[in-house]
Amino acid sequence: MSQAVSGETYFQNFTEKHKKILNTLVRNNPGLLSGSFSLLVFNPHVLDFDNKRSYFYQRLHDDSANSTAAGAGGANAGRRPGSRPLGASLNLHVHRENVFEDSFHQFVGRSGEEIKRGRINVRFHQEEGVDAGGVSREWFQALARQMFNPGYALFRPSAAGRVTYQPNPQSWANPEHLQYFKFVGRIIGKAIVDQRVLDAYFTRSFYKHILGRSVDYRDMEAIDPSYYKSLEWILENDITDVFDETFSIEVDNFGQHRIIDLIPNGQEIAVTEENKAEYVRLVTEQRLYKAIKDQIGAFLDGFHDLIPKDLIQIFNEQELELLISGMPDVDVDDWRNNTEYHGGYSSSSAPVQWFWRAVRSFDQEERAKLLQFVTGTSKVPLEGFAHLQGNQGIQKFQIHKAFGPTTRLPTAHTCFNQLDLPVYDSFESLKSNLLLAISECSTGFGFV
C-alpha cells in the first residue's frame, strides 16, 4: 500500500516538475495521450487546456464513430482518427421569435446519438438562405439568449455581475421545466460536439455539478454575497452564546414559507462551536445542490446523452467555461485603464507595475483564468472593461493592497471584481504566486 502511494506521489511530483516540457511534447504529438503518455490523463492538473481539448475531441469523435460503426453503412470508412464522424442532417424549421420552443419540440423523440452525430441544418420561417454554417451558428446564439429568458423561469442571474446564471429553484412554476432543462443540456452538449461557442456563462457551482464535483461555501459568494459573509463569519469566529440557529433552513416559494431540516430533527438541534463546520457544509449543500437537484439531474440527463461523464471530467470549472463559451479576447490596455487601486496602492506602486507586466506576459488562457479568478467569469463586456459588472451594477476591476506575509497567495472577491494583492518583493515572486493562485483556484475546495 505504501509503495503504491509512494509511486503515485512520485508520478505527481515528476509530472509537476516537468509540466512545461510534457505539454510541449503532447502539443507537437497529440497522439501521445492515447499511447505512452496516457497516464497524464489521470493527472489532468498537469495538462494545459489546449492539450486537454485536443484529447477530448479525439476521444469524443472516436467513441462516437466506434459506437455507430455497425450502422454506418460504410459512411465513415477511411475517416481520420479523431475527426468528426458523418451523420444524417438534423433539419430544423423554426420561427425566429419562438426559436426555443420550436427547437425543443423538434428535438423531442430524437436519440442522443442521433443529435450528437447529426449535422444541424436550420431554416428560419419565411427567411431565405441555405445553411452553410452561418444560419446554424445564429441558431445556437439565439438559443443561448432564450434559455435565460425569465419567461421560462429556468435560470436566474447570479449576484456577481448578473452575467452568470444558476438554475432557478422555483423553475417548477413552468410545468415543463425538467424537459426544458434536459433540452438545454442537449444544446450545450451539441454546441460542444460541434465546437460552437455560446454566449452562455454559468456560476462556478453549476460547472462543478456538471463535472461531478462537490460545492463549497465559497461558491455561495456568487449566489448570495451577504449569506456567504455570514457563513464565513461563523467559521472564523467563536459563536458560543452569539449564534442562535438550529440545523434547519427556512425557504420561501412564492410567499409560501416552510422549514427544511438539514438533518433528522434538525429544528431541535442547536448549532454550536463544535458542530458549526457541519452546519455550514449542510446549509451550503441545501442551497447550492438539494434545492435544484431535479433541475441539475434533468440537465445532466440531456448533457450526458452527448458528452460522456468520465471524459468531461478531465476539465476543471474554469476550463469548462472556456470549452462552452470560448477564449476571451482580452485588451490589456483597456483592462489597465479601467482599474482602480485601494489600500495604499496606486498605478505607480511597484507590485502594481509588476502585476501588469505579468499580465502582459501571460498567454490567452492565463489571462482568461485570471479574469475568472477575480470576476467569476471570463466574459468581457462588449463595451469593454469600463462596463465590468459587479453585484451592485457597474464595478471596475480593483486591486487592493493585502497586508501580511508576502508568502500569501493573492485572493479575490468576485462580487466586487476585487483582487487582494500582497506586497511582493520581486516581479518573479509576484508572477509565480499569481499563477499559482489562479491555478489552485480552478481545482475547487470541495468538502471531503
Query: Per the structure block, which three cell numbers stand in for 155?
Result: 435560470
pLDDT digits (tens, 9 = 90+) for 45-74: 889 999 999 999 999 988 665 655 444 444
Residue 150 has pLDDT above 50, yes or no: yes
pLDDT digits (tens, 9 = 90+) for 4-43: 556 667 777 888 888 889 999 999 998 888 888 888 887 7
Q: Tell me which residues are annotated as active site.
A: 415
Greater confidence (351 vs 12) lies with: 351
Query: Per the structure block, which three cell numbers stand in for 236?
Result: 472564523
Element holding 325 (H helix, E strand)? helix 317-325
Strands 155-157 and 165-167: antiparallel
Contact 324, 188 (CB under 8 A): yes
Residue 446 has pLDDT above 60, yes or no: no
pLDDT digits (tens, 9 = 90+) for 368-378: 999 999 988 88
Q: How many Cβ atoms sit within 10 Å of the Cβ of residue 160?
A: 25
| CB proximity list for 263: less than 8 A, separation 6 or greater | 247, 269, 282
Residue carrying the nine cell digits 468538502: 447
Q: Which of 6-15, 89-98, 323-332, 368-377 has the lowest mean pLDDT?
A: 6-15
pLDDT digits (tens, 9 = 90+) for 214-231: 999 999 988 888 999 999
Residue 86 has pLDDT above 80, yes or no: no
